[in-house]
Chain A
Amino acid sequence: MRASLLLGDGTFVSGLAHGTPSERIAELVFNTAMSGYEEVLSDPSYAGQFVLFTASHIGNTGITEFDLESKIMAAEAFLCKDFSVIADNHRSRKGLETFLRDSGKCAVSGIDTRMLALKLRSLGCLKAILSTEDHDPESLRGKLEASGDISSKDLVSQMRSFSYHRPRMSGSQTEGLRFTSQFASAGRAKFRIVAIDCGMKRGIVDDLEACGLEVHCVGPNASLLEIEAIRPDGLFISNGPGCPKQLAGSTRILQLIRELSARMPAFGICLGHQLIALAYGGDTQKLSFGHHAVNHPVKSMVALAGIPAGTVMMTSQNHNYHVVEESISECFEVTHRHMNDSTVAGMMHRSKPVFSVQFHPECNPGPQDAKSLFGIFVNMLEEKRHAGQN
């Protein structure tokens, strides 16, 4: 089966199709991680996007299911150089081809992915159409042009229902791997938090729970009353797909963040970070081609939770938007900075327990250098409780 791809700039390529025959329009982004395609494809933040993997071989380890970040394949489709015909890993439950079919999605391989990545690097993210039926560039161009602005789609509400709780790992799933977090608590949860789920990665829930938190998920449209009824100790705002301003415009989420973060510790990751910035009067902008990688260096600008200022971490990143530094409210301090382009990678309120990071401390995929940042949120919850008791 053949698949053809037409980019917004007129670039046309075709290759070998895999999965379910389909035709889709989405934004094309590239990810440079060399491992973790299972996590990437199921990361709800990739909703509405075609993911181009720069790594040569995809599918080698099949799908373990345990490593999925949501119930489904969130990305619209993916592109790679070589699609593995077999899955070879002791934890693998099914092949990538089966996963694609089960998800009703497709992939294309055998194309010059590096050429496309270089194009995206210089032109920025491009809208694209991928089809397993239509191989006529002109006809595809017509469809692509007629599709209008895809960034206006309400991706978040689509995505949030896909969050899921991971099955317990069997013996063969865990052998050789240690998942226990340094914050793992025995017994009852210490704190109850509300997570505004905009398409939250499973790994975040895992890490929050591993810190001894009881996580209650609500949608971005949740009301204040609804949340208050849970009587949370803290607020978490998740990652998610699309433009933060779009989400802010279609929901009352900013007001929710403002009201709740005034009363309780708040922590945001990725989209959550952008929403906190917006809630406090900041601005976000689209990056040319985003950060989609697991090798981006982030520097700590201030000492936090025992990590000295100047510490450099290898981080997992996945975002097309960033918080404009000049726009950030005076009451925030930049705590982390991206070392390559100096964009804001983390910030903390100067007087309130509000903290957010643009990158993914839960990783999945990527290096686990930043896991300890969850501890900052826990410290905030502890301090708040301590202050309340006094």
Chain B
Amino acid sequence: MPVRTDIRKILVIGSGPIQIGQGCEFDYSGTQACLALKDLGFEVSLVNSNPATIMTDSSTAHRVYIEPLTVECLAEVLERERPDALLPTVGGQVALNLFLELEEQGHLARLGIRTLGVSSKTVILTEDRRAFRNLLEELGLEVIRGDVAHSAESAYEIANTLNYPLVVRTSFTLGGAGGGVVANPEQLAMLVDRVFKQNKNAQMVIEESIAGWKEYELEVMRDAAGTFVVVCGVENVNPMGVHTGDSITCAPCMTLTDREYQHLRNTAKQIFEKVGMETGGANIQFAVHPQTGRMIVVEMNPRVSRSSALVSKATGYPIARLAAQIAAGLTLAELKNEITQSTSAAFEPSIDYVVVKIPRWDFAKYKGASDELGVQMKSVGEVLAFGRTFRDAFQKAWRSLELGYEGWPDLGQTPEFLAALRAADPYARSTAEPLNKDTILNALGAPTPALFPALKSAMQCGFEIDELHERTGISHWFLSQLAQLVELEQRLAHPEFADSDLIKAKQDGFTQKGVAALSGLPVGEINLRTERLGLKPTFKMVDSCAGEFEAHTPYYYKTFEQQDENIPSSARKVVILGSGPNRIGQGVEFDYSCVHAVRAAQDAGYEVILINCNPETVSTDHLVSDKLFIEPLNCEDVIDILKSENPDGVFVQFGGQSPLKLAKNILDAGFKILGTPQEVIDLAEDRHAFGGFISRYGYKVPAWATGSGFGECLAKAESIGYPLLVRPSYVLGGRAMKIVRSESELKSSLAEAIDASQGHPILLDKYLERAIEFDVDLVCDGQDVYIPAVMEHIEEAGIHSGDSTSIIPYLKAPLHLDSPIRELCKGLALNLGVRGLLNVQLAYHEGELYVLEVNPRSSRSVPFVSKATAVPLAWLGARVALGAKLSDLLKTTNFTATTAPKYAVKAPVFPFHKFPGVSPNLGPEMRSIGEVMGTAPTAGEALAKAYIAAGWKLVPQGDILVLAESAQLEQMAEALGVMVHKLGCRVYCIEDCRQALAGLKTSLIELRQDDQVRSFALTAMRSGRMTMVISAGTQMSRKWRQLAAEIGALTTQCAVPFIESEFALDAWVMALRSRAGKEIQ
């Protein structure tokens, strides 16, 4: 079938900000889809609120709308664009939900817009659990026993017919929010209460528990001609009970016979057709009883997903690209397998390796959150590793996590364990003592991030596979693979290990360093032994067909075998190191920069080789770079690739902290670091050297000191004076960073900082209170400096830049500061000797500009600045690092002026709602996971759009709850007055605030008891009339502080803003006023 001619213009819906359960995989799939449709000659427009995406680059679509993903905004865009068709299947659940709303509200019918790839009938059939269940029963398939409750009464009725434990879920949610395993009737009652009180119309699914069953996923595709393929099957190593996103998974399926696998395939095919899905990719999950083989269909996602991104990378089969092409009318049979370029895309990939995915969690950022894993996803990122065997891939995957592991760790090596130790003894660093059995059994009891490390410890203690299977439900096959690793480690654990064990170790994914640590030999000795045995790293192709056909656009992974398939070219080439797994503080923004660096180096005539292990990313699309290695960003793995490729240089400045950490090893191995020299990177990180630099050139910095031990830190702190900012060196995202106001506060935060610092000194800075912070990203070629824009933070200095709302052009600071800021940044860049990108953070405090931080690398704000100013900063940075002159680049390219004609706001997105009970206070340690952008002619409207895009509810005329100390309210009184008098808000406050807010007169309502506050807060939030909660001041009484934290945690569940400073309050007032004005119009 040819490409459809009845449509000309297609609108693609993106997925918005990164959230838990929705990572950057939709940047990958969205970008693929847009480019594929453009290539087919369609006019493509797209809507997405996330600026840190390749998808929202102007080169991805004909028209890009960076707008909030709300049905109102979309309707406006549709009205303006008048596309012929809508593609809602590449933007995750967000896009599907929006599509449903657009259709329900009649926008699509009114504008005559067709939908590609899916119909509302299909979405409803797969989302509505009862409808889906009926469909499965019609097909004669086994279903989970249980039912859907629409009220508390029916919930109890259903529960009475089933055996505990039960699984409870609520419909239409992302990553399974609001559900869980319920062990007894008391727990059920609590959950029922919460769900139906929050939302009377809620649907609650109550089912028998299939926890412990084997879990499989099939990624499938079908075209309009009916060609159906399974791209790959994935087996979860964690059995049912842990969300797939939180499970370790592997491909291909390991413990199914062909007959069983084909049964899953047939079922998937039947369901696909039965839900009325015509074309596209989908994901179907199955549970299989380990003893009886009883198979149950768990769910179907009629769209590309996190799993489809993973499977695309795992097999070389580009699901999103093909999904877009077949949605446009082509058939799989008409398309070629882009890897072989000769065989058909109508085939099922075969792989001759194993891939393992391990999630990455960041519980340390959300103190108080439970790290127990269940049906609600909690991980923030993931890694993918390739190996010739499961063992090989498993070891590599652990290494890829960048948690300091060389391979699969035991319990004693994990941060969870160290945290537990510290709870008992705050000064503990680690322990050499063997773990006791109770600790291990405890960790095996419930799935947490420590489960697999605990399994290793258990095996080391002699637990048998059968018992471990009983305790964890993990299949015998996986346990036996893991046991092989433990046995091998035991054989390697003395210096006279056999050659055959070394060979096995290398084939099972151990590093030289890992073997050295086990055997007690120096790494040099292990190197000699591997060399003598002729063991060399070999690179194998990912070719989608297990070697059956010649591959042309391949990518590689490393293993230790006979044949090396990597043929390095003699071209001029650079290696770009990616950013590894997404985590808080290092996410899609860095992948964005890496992709731009790839393009820049290609534009400069280089062959580009990219190394990364994050399967969600655009950078690991093999079409992006000339050569792709999906490998850990670990010293040995990277150096092995460099030795094979021998590049002209290596880029470490685009992937965040992960590649920077490797810079020294890369230099030591004799390779060149491109751009800013290593000495400058070290200078920026080394406080003493940087201090020397600062005083040499006469810049101002807040008073500072460094200290190594506990005592030294306390003494230094005394000499600087409180408040202080405490932080470890060489960390990103402000890990373990804190503002302390007294010696006792310093004492309680030092242990964590010392631990995070890993031997580097602790930094102590005078904290500048109520300072305005600026962020500048610039390019410097040694002669010229180019500054596209100066960002101002809405929040005061001291709030992590990743968690601050930023605005371009700046708002609060005096206008005359513009040129001093630019001069200061320019001077810094030139004097440091930066070649490429530099991020500068400044504070304006009592009439003076202070330098807070310089980062000679791509920063988190680079994509936002690029989108706000239409200047491709990362591209410029890479070109300059490769030797181009800024003056030439700026001459030949056509950039717009550095000041945007309108306001652009970047707002952070937090995952607090996934961690009930965690209070959303902001501080120097970053806790946001994603970001959105709003642009408008006025600052107020740009702020409003950004806040809406970030998911906040804007209630201009509502209730405000103030839980603050009166000293803090002096600065807030005016803004509160505006809200009361201009917007008609009512202010509720606690007794302490009454005096300070007396000016509000009749609109002020005092709440006397904490119970009164609690019940008011609950009612106002649930009814949707709460405008905001203001909580400020650290000197409040303990009772009110606790209440503020409790209510803060509640706001995260209801999308109510939690305001902690007058800076944030002012911005919110502007946004609310803008919205109020709009509504009046």
| Residues on A facing B (Cβ under 8 Å) | 13, 30, 32-36, 38-39, 54-57, 60-61, 64, 67, 81-82, 84-86, 88-91, 110-115, 117-118, 121, 172, 175-178, 293-297, 299, 310-312, 314, 339-340, 363-369
Given contacts A112-B561, A367-B348, contact A312 B333 (CB under 8 A): yes
In the docked arrangement, what's the CA distance between A211 and B225, Å?
27
Binds A, one of B285-293, B526-534, B619-627, B1042-1050: B285-293
Residues of A within 8 A of B540 (CB): 114
Residues of B within 8 A of A115 (CB): 561-563
Given contacts A61-B257, A297-B344, A340-B344, contact A86 B350 (CB under 8 A): no
Q: Which residue of B lies closest to A117 (CB)?
A: B547
Q: Is A88 in contact with B475, judged by CB distance below 8 angstroms?
A: yes
Given contacts A32-B548, A177-B293, contact A114 B563 (CB under 8 A): yes
Q: Is A176 in contact with B262, judged by CB distance below 8 angstroms?
A: no
Q: Is B389 in contact with A56, judged by CB distance below 8 angstroms?
A: yes
In the docked arrangement, what's the CA distance between A194 and B540, Å?
49
Residues of A within 8 A of B291 (CB): 90
- Mark B385-426 against chain A: 1 for CB-CB distance below 8 A, else 0: 000111000000000000000000000000000000000000
**Min CB gap A282→B, angstroms:** 26
Residues of A within 8 A of B258 (CB): 33, 35-36, 38-39, 67, 294, 364-366
Q: Is B266 in contact with A368, judged by CB distance below 8 angstroms?
A: yes
14 example contacts (A-B, Cβ-Cβ < 8 A) are as follows A38-B257, A54-B350, A55-B352, A82-B389, A82-B390, A86-B480, A88-B480, A90-B293, A177-B260, A177-B295, A293-B548, A311-B225, A363-B262, A365-B262
Q: Is B348 in contact with A112, judged by CB distance below 8 angstroms?
A: no
Q: Is A85 in contact with B388, judged by CB distance below 8 angstroms?
A: no
Residues of A within 8 A of B255 (CB): 60-61, 88-89
Q: Is A118 in contact with B293, judged by CB distance below 8 angstroms?
A: no
Contact partner, A55, options B289, B294, B507, B546, Cβ 8 Å: B546
Residues of A within 8 A of B342 (CB): 340
The 6 tightest CB contacts between A and B, nearest first, are: A36-B258, A365-B258, A115-B563, A88-B477, A176-B293, A54-B546
Mark out the residues of chain B between 430 and 485 whose CB falls within 8 Å of any chain A CB in the assembled complex: 475-477, 480, 484
Residues of B within 8 A of A365 (CB): 258, 262
| Residues on B facing A (Cβ under 8 Å) | 142, 225-230, 252-263, 265-266, 288-295, 331-333, 342-344, 346-354, 388-390, 475-477, 480, 484, 507, 540, 545-550, 561-563, 565
Residues of A within 8 A of B351 (CB): 34, 55
Most chain B beta-carbon contacts within 10 A, residue among A30, A54, A56: A56
Contact partner, A32, options B266, B333, B546, Cβ 8 Å: B546
Contact partner, A312, options B227, B259, B550, Cβ 8 Å: B227
In the docked arrangement, what's the CA distance between A367 and B227, Å?
12
Q: Is A310 in contact with B548, judged by CB distance below 8 angstroms?
A: no
Given contacts A177-B260, A311-B226, contact A35 B350 (CB under 8 A): no
Given contacts A61-B255, A67-B259, A367-B262, contact A54 B547 (CB under 8 A): yes
Contact partner, B253, options A35, A56, A366, Cβ 8 Å: A35
In the docked arrangement, what's the CA distance between A82 and B509, Å?
14
**Min CB gap B83→A, angstroms:** 30
Residues of A within 8 A of B332 (CB): 312
Residues of B within 8 A of A295 (CB): 347-350, 545
Most chain A beta-carbon contacts within 10 A, residue among B230, B293, B342, B563: B293
Q: Is A176 in contact with B563, judged by CB distance below 8 angstroms?
A: no
Q: Which residue of B lies closest to A92 (CB)?
A: B257
Q: Is B292 in contact with A176, judged by CB distance below 8 angstroms?
A: yes
Interface of B is mostly: loop
Q: Which residue of B lies closest to A171 (CB)?
A: B292
Q: Is B294 in contact with A176, judged by CB distance below 8 angstroms?
A: yes
Given contacts A32-B546, A81-B352, 19 further A-B contacts (CB under 8 A): A32-B350, A32-B545, A36-B258, A56-B353, A60-B477, A64-B259, A85-B480, A89-B255, A112-B563, A114-B546, A114-B547, A118-B547, A176-B289, A294-B258, A295-B347, A295-B349, A310-B225, A314-B229, A339-B346
In the docked arrangement, what's the CA distance between A151 and B545, Å?
28
Contact partner, A293, options B256, B350, B388, B561, Cβ 8 Å: B350
Q: Which residue of A lies closest to B393 (CB)?
A: A56
Q: Is A114 in contact with B352, judged by CB distance below 8 angstroms?
A: yes
**Min CB gap A292→B, angstroms:** 9
**Min CB gap B859→A, angstroms:** 41
Q: Which residue of B lies closest to A174 (CB)?
A: B293
In the docked arrangement, what's the CA distance between A88 and B482, Å?
14
Q: Is B256 in contact with A61, judged by CB distance below 8 angstroms?
A: yes
Contact partner, B546, options A88, A110, A117, Cβ 8 Å: A117
Most chain A beta-carbon contacts within 10 A, residue among B230, B256, B352: B352
Residues of B within 8 A of A86 (CB): 476-477, 480
Residues of A within 8 A of B389 (CB): 56-57, 81-82
Residues of A within 8 A of B549 (CB): 121, 340
Residues of A within 8 A of B350 (CB): 32-34, 54-55, 293-295
Q: Is A177 in contact with B252, judged by CB distance below 8 angstroms?
A: no
In the docked arrangement, what's the CA distance between A57 and B391, Å?
11
Q: Is A297 in contact with B346, judged by CB distance below 8 angstroms?
A: yes
**Min CB gap A382→B, angstroms:** 26
Contact partner, B288, options A54, A110, A176, Cβ 8 Å: A176
In the docked arrangement, what's the CA distance between A367 and B342, Å?
23
In the docked arrangement, what's the CA distance between A187 and B44, Å?
60
Q: Which residue of B lies closest to A340 (CB)?
A: B343
Contact partner, A36, options B257, B476, B550, Cβ 8 Å: B257
Q: Is B548 in contact with A121, judged by CB distance below 8 angstroms?
A: yes
Residues of A within 8 A of B295 (CB): 176-177
Q: Is B352 in contact with A89, judged by CB distance below 8 angstroms?
A: no
Contact partner, B562, options A112, A172, A311, A364, Cβ 8 Å: A112
